[in-house]
Structures are given as structure tokens and as C-alpha cells.
């Protein structure tokens, strides 16, 4: 009977295979969907680092028949429940082809399409010993040069950006690289500050070597639990990520392979695996930007720009050291973690006394401790973290979440958070209304369902309360946010999405509505979008903002060339109505321009894979402003033009 069932399932998977087709030209579209979702969640994202990881994964896809939970967590678009469903399905019956993924409960055609570049269904091979000689023979190398001219009309003296990188990767076992970057207007030489490039970085990561689960050196990122003790990962999930059951996905340490100049550690760390326990230790020592005066500085500057005398004076002036450890117990249904960090500054952090920062950390040394947990039983999932950090008084932070899947295709989520006024951990980042994990009390309820064929619905409501003033709000305050989205997939070629968001914060209400439709047919890809927002205040009339765009992309079949163009018109007379539209760019680069004022914008992307070793990417973009916008904002010209170029060598 069991053999008959498997035969039927295999036949069914063959019949539906045509509906989940994949071609190499779809990889940029899949990456675009992932990045746009991350950007829309309103969190900081290091897109360059995310793309590096995903492209390496496409070169070294995961064998689903031998995959672990940690392997599948690299696929940012999969939920924890979907990962569990895949592992259970494969455990019962290994996959003979990828089209059998259609039989995994909770996976839609859209998500299977997104998986196809990054997974394979091969037989399970025995683990081979690690040979250094073999590594040098089979490794993949990449050298890439990027050169931009930005806002040419406004920065005619020096509008040039440049970066150079080298990457070495051996089957996701050894990952090494170096990167350097220089922004427009940054001098090529400043004594004791700048030598050629403005930023130099490098990394080394070794996976699965003896008892070492991972070894990192150079630039790296760390996150444990819900990020209340430490989280320097710039791809953590926002509120919508928890709605889609992804939350804070990256756990532990991993290399930083981008030119981002903030929110990372520089030093070394390692994770040892002993049966049910992972033990991690790490140390970092690097200089941060801060304007020193009499042995103190008011804030850590994170822009990464060093153009003016003031910015150069602050450049790398404060030593920042972090020492930390984590113990994670991986039991059958329970994951329990204990994290401790100690942060040292060479000079005193002393923010200027303002109405909203009375409880911010002040000093040169800070300790933080936390316990995180993740427990799953039947269809119930309990997760959270409790942490404390040293301040004028030891502050407390607590995040507790519960997730219930009463039936396949439906998930209910509830999260409660309490961050005391005196909790201000320098290394913390995670689920919150504001960018700081400080003085916030809130409750979150969400639902996500795909019970209707070809439809997916999701919604959440979030209430938050601040007991002390916040930036722009001079009294204690409260607010709430409502978010809904509906996705419709009438066929493999067409997808539609509606999004609505309403947020009340301070004395302002903001309503945002968006509609996007994607159509793919052969070599053509069409994307149309419209978004509008309304902001209302108690003391002024409502203000409006909106953008409409049309994007067209074509991939030639006989030659490895693709061309993409977009035309858009926008109106956002008031700053509260600003719009942020994600744009495709050259490889390892991302554009999210601020659309403020009234006008139009266009861009053209050109990609040409010259041969198996050399690829060329070009982008030209221009924003054109109305006369009224030019007068009100003193832009100095009607247009702002950018040209980006990128060339990659692989061998």
C-alpha cells in the first residue's frame, strides 16, 4: 500500500511540474521579491550582504534530502512551520525531484518557485574529510569593481563612488574575502585617518571543521535569541516578518561580506558543537565614529560618510570592544539559550541632555545578560527572551510570543513586549516600534492564511505605549498600527498584491494603500504599481502623497543580455508623505530613493554576461523635479542624474 501511495504521489508531481517551471532568468526576479519584502517591513537591511549569501547559495544549492533546519533557515522567504513540514516530508520519503515539493503541506507554487534556484534533490553522500589541497583546486573566486557617478549636477567637483572586492568560496565550507570602498567627496588621504579608500574590510568563515560548527575572523555579525542582548545583523525581521512566521532568523555568528560601515563586529569568534549543546565565544575591537571633546562624545555616528572636516574629525576616534558568549541547548522540542556580553568604550558616551534621551546609556562600560527560549509542541510554538542591561539602573527587557497553527494554512500570532525606561543596550536590536529597544510597552496580534486556493491573506494589529517622551513627541504617548495584505496568484505568470497600512503615532495618522501586479511571459516581465498615502493631524489639513510606475524587463534568449526600465511619477509635497520605492540596481547594489516633492523618475538597467567568467552591469537613472519643488527645496537644478557601473570576474 505504501509503495502504491508513493507511486501515485510521484505521478501527481510529474503532472504538476509544468506549473512550477524555472529558468535562470528568474533568479533576479526572485531576489527582487525577497528584497522588496525586506525593505517594506521598515527595518534596516544590508542588501549587499543578503545578496552575497543568496548568490553563493545558488552556486552551492542545498540538498533537501540531507538538509538541516539551519540549512533551510537561509531561505528567508520560508517560515519556521514550512521548514518543519519540508524536513518531516523528506524524513518520511526522500525527494526524487523538486516538483514533489508541491506535495508538502503549506507550500504554495509561488514559494516553491522561489526555492528552485537554491535547492536540489540529490542522493545523500557520505561526508568526506576536509582536504586543504582539494579546497584550492575546487574553490570559486570572484573579483568585482564598481564605479558610480552620483547626482552629477549637484556634485560636479567629485560625484564619484568606487568599491573593489575579492571573494573566495569553497562549497560553503570556507568563505574568505576583502572589500574596500570610497564615497563621493571623501578625500583619498588624511593623515592617520584615510589611505586611498575610506573603508577597508575583510572576512573569513569556516564551517563544520571538527567540533567547530563555525569559525569567523575579521568582520562578522552576531545575533542570538530575539536580539535583546546582541543583534548586529542588518537583515532581521520587522513586524511583518513575525506575521509571516520568520522573526529573527539569523542565529549565531556569520561573516559580514559587504561594504557597510556600521553595526558589525571586527575580531574573531567560534561556535563549538557538543551533542545537544552549542557554545559560542566572540571578541571584537574596532574604532567607531564619534566627536570627542574632553574625553567624552555625544553619540556614535553611523552614516559612514567622511567628507567634511567635522566628519573627518569624528572618524574612527573611539575604541569599541565587545566580549561575549552564548550557550544554546538544542533539546527535542526546546531550544534554550544563555547570552552574556560586555561592552567597553575608550571614552565616555555622554549624550547631550534632551527631552527624549534622559534614560539613554551614559558611561564607558556596559554588561548585558539574557535567556532566550523556543519551544514547539504539536501546533503550538512559544518563543521569547528576557534580558537585562547595565545603565543608571539595571534595565529589563522582555519579549514573549506565542504562535498557533490550528490547521494547515493558518497561523495566529500574539506577542507581548516590555522594555523598561532604563533598558538601553548598545548591542540590542529587534522587534520594536522605534529604532531603540528602550521604554516601550506593546501588544501584537496577527493572522496569516492561505486556505483559499491561489490567495494568501495576512493582517496584524500592534498597540504601543511610551511612558516618557520620544523624538518628536514631548509627552508620554501611545499609538497603534493596522496592516493588511492580500496576494493573488491566478496563474504562474501573474501575481497581484494589495497592501493597506494605518498608523497612529503622536498626533498624526497615516494611511497607506498599495497595489502591485506582476506579469511574466517568456522573455518579458511587466510590473505595474501604484501607491498613495494620506496624513492627518489635529492642527492641520490632510496632506497627500502618491506614486505610479510601470516597469518593463526583457531577457534575450540567444544572447545573455537583459534590459530593464521603469518610468514613474510622484507627488509628496509634505515631508510626512515621502515615498520610498525599491529599485533594481547593479549587482550588490540597491536603490531606495526618497521621493519628495513632485516630479518623475526613470531608470534603465543593462546586464550582459560576456562569457562564463566576465559579467557587465550598467544603470542610468534620473529624477526630474517640478518648478515648485525646485523653489521650495533649493535643489539647485531640475534634474538629479546617476550612472552606476559594475564588472565582475569569476573563475
- Element containing residue 33 per DSSP (H, E): helix 27-40
**What's the pLDDT at 7?**
42
- CA separation for the pair 68, 532 (Å, rounded): 43
- CA separation for the pair 323, 344 (Å, rounded): 9
Between the CA of residue 269 and those of 111, 176, 285, 338, what are the distances in Å?
34, 15, 12, 16
Q: Is the pLDDT of residue 341 over 50?
A: yes
Nearest alpha carbon to residue 625 among 604, 593, 583, 596: 596
> 515 pLDDT band (50/70/90 cuts)?
very high
- CA separation for the pair 547, 273 (Å, rounded): 51
Instruction: Please state which of the ranges 196-200, 239-243, 260-264, 561-565 shows the lowest mean pLDDT.
Output: 239-243
170: cell is: 569553497
Residues 116/20, Cβ–Cβ less than 8 Å:
yes
Angle between helices 27-40 and 47-59 (to 10 degrees): 150
Mean pLDDT of 356-381: 93
Residues 176/198, Cβ–Cβ less than 8 Å:
no
Residues 590/603, Cβ–Cβ less than 8 Å:
no
- CA separation for the pair 13, 195 (Å, rounded): 58
Residues 359/422, Cβ–Cβ less than 8 Å:
yes
Burial of 128 (0-12, 13-18, 19+ CB in 10 A): exposed
Q: Which residues of 66-93 are buried (b: 16+ CB within 10 A; e: fewer)?
A: ebeeebbebbbbbbbbbbbbbbebbeee
**What's the pLDDT at 377?**
86
Q: Is the pLDDT of residue 3 over 50?
A: no
> 16 pLDDT band (50/70/90 cuts)?
very low
- CA separation for the pair 39, 45 (Å, rounded): 7
Q: What is the mean pLDDT of the chain?
A: 88
Residues 526/551, Cβ–Cβ less than 8 Å:
yes
**What's the pLDDT at 154?**
73
Q: Is the pLDDT of residue 301 over 60?
A: yes
Mean pLDDT of 328-357: 94
Q: Which residues of 237-273 are buried (b: 16+ CB within 10 A; e: fewer)?
A: bbbbbbbbbbbbbbbbbbbbbbbbbebbbbbbbbbeb
Pairing of strands 334-349, 296-297: parallel
CA 578, 580, 586, 589 torsion-angle sign: positive
Instruction: Please state which of the ranges 83-87, 133-137, 257-261, 559-563 shows the lowest mean pLDDT.
Output: 133-137
pTM of the model: 0.90
Between the CA of residue 487 and those of 283, 459, 498, 536, 550, what are the distances in Å?
44, 12, 7, 28, 19
- CA separation for the pair 428, 324 (Å, rounded): 13
> 125 pLDDT band (50/70/90 cuts)?
confident
- Check residues 76 and 531 and name the one with the higher pLDDT: 531
Mean pLDDT of 195-217: 93
Mean pLDDT of 125-143: 79
Q: Which residues make beta-bridge pairs with 176?
A: 168, 204
Q: Is the pLDDT of residue 26 over 70?
A: no
> 15 pLDDT band (50/70/90 cuts)?
very low
Residue 234 gets which letter from DSSP?
T
Return the half-sphere exposure (C-beta side, CA atoms, 13 A cut-off) of residue 363: 17
> 17 pLDDT band (50/70/90 cuts)?
very low
192 φ/ψ sector (left φ>0, alpha ψ -120 to 50, else beta): left
> 80 pLDDT band (50/70/90 cuts)?
confident
Displacement of CA 434 from its chain's centroid (Å): 17
- pLDDT digit string, tens, across residues 569-618: 999 989 889 988 888 899 888 788 889 999 999 999 999 999 999 999 99
> 13 pLDDT band (50/70/90 cuts)?
very low
Q: Is the pLDDT of residue 340 over 90?
A: yes
> 469 pLDDT band (50/70/90 cuts)?
very high
Residues 27/120, Cβ–Cβ less than 8 Å:
no
- CA separation for the pair 589, 374 (Å, rounded): 35
- CA separation for the pair 595, 531 (Å, rounded): 12
- pLDDT digit string, tens, across residues 588-599: 887 888 899 999
Between the CA of residue 142 and those of 165, 181, 199, 414, 613, what are the distances in Å?
8, 17, 20, 44, 9
Length of the chain in terms of residues written: 651
63 φ/ψ sector (left φ>0, alpha ψ -120 to 50, else beta): beta
**What's the pLDDT at 128?**
66
**What's the pLDDT at 296?**
95
Q: Is the pLDDT of residue 36 over 80?
A: no
- Check residues 349 and 473 and name the one with the higher pLDDT: 349
Q: Is the pLDDT of residue 132 over 80?
A: no
Residues 417/401, Cβ–Cβ less than 8 Å:
no
- CA separation for the pair 478, 433 (Å, rounded): 11
- The dihedrals phi and psi of 74, each to the nearest 5 degrees, come to -70, -20
- The dihedrals phi and psi of 90, each to the nearest 5 degrees, come to -70, -35
> 136 pLDDT band (50/70/90 cuts)?
confident
Residues 152/642, Cβ–Cβ less than 8 Å:
yes
Rg (CA), the chain: 25
> Which string of DSSP letters, residue by residue, matches 598-635?
EEEEEEEEEEEE-SSSEEEEEEEEEEEE-HHHHHHHT-
**What's the pLDDT at 581?**
80
Reported in sequence order, the residue ranges of 134-289 that DSSP labels E, i.e. its strands, are 140-149, 160-170, 174-182, 189-190, 194-195, 199-209, 212-223, 252-255, 265-274, 277-288
Q: Is the pLDDT of residue 350 over 90?
A: yes
**What's the pLDDT at 245?**
61
Q: Is the pLDDT of residue 314 over 60?
A: yes
Mean pLDDT of 126-149: 83
**What's the pLDDT at 40?**
59
Instruction: Give me the percent of the chain exceeding a pLDDT of 70.
Output: 90
Residue 147 gets which letter from DSSP?
E
Instruction: Give me the percent of the chain exceeding a pLDDT of 90.
Output: 57
> 130 pLDDT band (50/70/90 cuts)?
low
Amino acid at each position: 500500500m505504501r509503495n502504491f501511495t508513493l507511486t501515485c504521489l510521484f505521478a501527481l508531481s510529474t503532472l504538476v511540474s509544468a506549473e512550477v517551471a524555472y529558468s535562470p532568468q528568474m533568479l533576479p526576479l526572485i531576489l527582487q521579491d525577497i528584497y522588496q519584502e525586506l525593505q517594506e517591513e521598515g527595518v534596516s537591511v544590508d542588501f549587499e550582504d543578503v545578496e552575497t549569501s543568496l548568490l553563493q547559495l545558488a552556486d552551492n544549492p542545498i540538498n533537501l534530502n540531507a538538509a538541516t533546519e539551519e540549512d533551510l533557515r537561509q531561505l528567508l522567504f520560508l517560515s519556521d512551520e514550512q521548514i518543519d513540514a519540508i524536513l518531516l516530508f523528506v524524513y518520511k520519503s526522500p525527494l526524487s525531484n523538486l516538483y514533489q515539493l508541491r506535495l508538502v503541506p503549506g507550500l504554495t507554487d509561488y514559494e516553491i518557485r522561489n526555492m528552485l534556484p537554491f535547492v536540489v534533490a540529490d542522493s545523500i553522500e557520505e561526508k568526506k574529510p576536509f582536504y586543504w589541497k582539494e579546497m584550492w583546486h575546487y574553490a570559486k573566486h570572484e573579483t568585482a569593481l564598481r564605479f558610480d557617478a552620483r547626482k552629477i549636477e549637484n556634485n560636479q567637483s567629485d560625484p564619484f563612488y568606487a568599491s573593489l572586492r575579492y571573494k573566495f568560496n569553497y562549497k560553503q565550507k570556507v568563505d574568505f574575502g576583502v572589500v574596500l570602498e570610497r564615497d563621493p567627496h571623501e578625500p583619498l588621504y588624511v593623515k592617520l585617518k584615510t589611505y586611498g579608500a575610506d573603508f577597508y574590510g575583510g572576512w573569513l568563515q569556516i564551517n563544520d571543521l571538527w567540533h567547530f560548527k563555525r569559525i569567523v575572523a575579521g568582520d562578522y555579525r552576531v545575533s542570538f535569541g530575539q536580539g535583546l542582548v546582541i543583534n548586529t545583523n542588518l537583515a532581521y525581521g520587522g513586524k511583518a516578518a513575525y506575521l509571516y512566521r520568520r522573526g529573527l532568523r539569523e542565529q549565531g555568528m556569520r561573516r559580514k561580506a559587504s561594504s557597510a560601515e556600521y553595526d558589525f563586529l571586527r575580531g574573531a569568534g567560534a561556535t563549538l558543537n557538543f551533542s545537544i549543546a552549542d557554545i559560542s565565544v566572540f571578541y571584537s575591537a574596532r574604532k567607531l565614529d564619534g566627536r570627542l571633546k574632553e574625553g567624552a562624545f555625544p553619540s556614535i555616528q553611523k552614516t559612514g560618510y567622511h567628507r567634511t572636516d567635522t566628519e573627518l574629525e569624528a572618524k574612527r576616534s573611539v575604541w569599541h570592544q565587545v566580549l561575549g558568549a552564548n550557550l544554546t541547548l538544542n533539546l527535542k522540542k526546546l531550544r534554550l539559550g544563555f547570552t552574556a556580553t560586555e561592552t567597553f568604550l575608550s571614552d565616555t558616551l555622554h549624550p547631550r541632555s534632551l527631552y527624549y534621551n534622559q534614560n539613554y546609556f551614559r558611561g564607558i562600560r556596559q554588561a548585558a545578560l539574557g535567556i532566550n527560549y523556543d519551544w514547539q509542541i504539536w501546533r503550538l510554538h512559544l518563543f521569547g527572551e528576557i534580558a537585562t542591561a547595565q545603565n543608571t539602573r539595571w534595565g529589563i527587557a522582555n519579549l514573549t510570543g506565542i504562535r498557533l497553527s490550528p490547521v494547515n494554512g493558518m497561523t495566529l500570532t500574539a506577542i507581548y513586549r516590555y522594555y523598561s525606561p532604563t533598558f538601553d543596550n548598545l548591542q540590542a536590536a529587534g522587534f520594536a516600534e522605534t529604532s531603540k529597544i528602550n521604554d516601550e510597552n506593546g501588544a501584537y496580534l496577527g493572522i496569516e492564511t492561505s486556505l483559499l486556493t491561489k490567495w494568501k491573506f495576512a493582517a496584524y494589529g500592534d498597540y504601543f505605549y511610551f511612558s516618557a517622551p520620544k523624538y518628536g513627541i514631548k509627552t508620554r504617548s501611545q499609538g497603534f498600527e493596522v496592516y493588511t495584505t492580500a496576494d493573488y496568484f491566478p496563474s504562474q505568470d501573474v501575481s497581484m498584491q494589495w497592501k493597506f497600512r494605518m498608523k497612529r503615532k503622536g498626533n498624526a495618522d497615516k494611511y497607506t494603500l498599495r497595489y502591485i501586479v506582476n506579469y511574466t511571459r517568456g522573455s518579458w516581465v511587466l510590473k505595474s504599481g501604484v501607491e498613495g498615502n494620506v496624513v492627518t493631524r489635529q492642527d492641520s489639513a490632510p496632506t497627500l502623497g502618491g506614486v505610479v510606475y510601470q516597469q518593463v524587463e526583457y531577457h534575450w534568449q540567444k544572447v545573455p543580455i537583459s534590459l530593464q526600465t521603469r518610468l514613474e511619477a510622484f507627488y509628496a509635497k509634505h515631508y510626512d508623505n515621502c515615498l520610498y520605492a525599491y529599485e533594481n540596481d547593479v549587482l550588490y547594489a540597491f536603490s531606495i530613493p526618497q521621493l519628495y516633492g513632485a516630479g518623475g523618475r526613470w531608470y534603465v538597467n543593462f546586464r550582459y554576461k560576456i562569457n562564463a567568467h566576465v559579467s557587465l552591469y550598467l544603470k542610468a537613472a534620473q529624477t526630474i523635479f517640478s518648478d515648485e519643488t525646485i523653489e521650495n527645496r533649493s535643489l539647485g537644478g531640475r534634474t538629479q542624474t546617476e550612472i552606476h557601473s559594475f564588472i565582475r570576474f569569476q573563475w
